[in-house]
Amino acid sequence: MAPLSAALTAAMAAGVILIIGWPHSSALPATTGARTVPEPRDVRRSSLAPLGVLALPSVLLVGLVPTIVLVALATGVAWRHRRARAARELRRVNAAMPELIDLLVIAATAGQTVPAMLDSVSRRAPHPVRPALERCTGRIANGDSVAGALAGMAPGLGELGPALVRGLVTGMTTGSPLVPTLVRMAEAARDRRRREAEAAARRLPVALLFPLVCCILPAFALLAVVPLLAASLGSLRV
């Protein structure tokens, strides 16, 4: 049974490492010239490959039922890992939105059109939002409509993406000034970032409870309380 347990443990560890490290849907594709890298749904489909690689050797080594348990455990760990990484990526995108909108304000103040604004800003945008802008400019360069490219850009710009896209499309179709709208959006993005920072600061004491209870308090007990008790018991024996 010992070799069987060792094989199961090794296969489980390999499966979890493969699935966590494999490309998944949180990766944001970019564009290179006129060629567009596959969309996230293609990457999501390819992330199932490690399960297929892992399943057959595991069935041969440990049987069908342990393989089902292994795959379920690895899938659950990978799912939680992907959700946490997607949440971190969303926070990074939301935090980068004020700088992106400020760059769009500068481009609009210079009198550029919406496609020219996107082209100039995409090369200088913060890294978390740059892939969405590059996909949008790549679609426009490939002949797609500006409105359609903007609609495809919205999911990559976080929670303020739909509002920003609506403002750009409205300004492009009606000819209304973009600068006042973008300035209001920049203020809203900064307010949102400040509120998220305050919420993260309020969550910090809760996050510190685990190391306090599991590390600091046991260390204090071992270093301070246990020697005192040992000395007291020794004096009682005497």
Q: Which helix (H) or strand (E) holds 31?
A: strand 31-32
Q: Tell me how far apart the alpha carbons of residues 163 and 103 are, in angstroms, rounded to a whole number.
A: 16
Within 208-225, residue ranges assigned H as helices are 209-211, 217-220
Residue 221: how many CB atoms within 10 A of its CB?
A: 11
Structural domain spans, the chain: 2-200
Radius of gyration of the chain, Cα coordinates, nearest whole angstrom: 26
User: Tens digits of per-residue pLDDT, 167-213?
Assistant: 999 988 888 889 999 999 999 999 989 998 898 889 888 888 888 88
Q: Under DSSP, is residue 238 helix (H, G, I), strand (E, B) or coil?
A: coil
Q: What is the pLDDT confidence band of residue 44, given thresholds at 50, 70 and 90?
A: very low
User: Tens digits of per-residue pLDDT, 79-112?
Assistant: 888 888 888 888 899 899 999 999 999 999 998 8
Task: Yes or no: say if 99 and 43 are a contact pair by the CB < 8 Å rule.
Answer: no
Is pLDDT above 80 for 15? no
pTM: 0.62
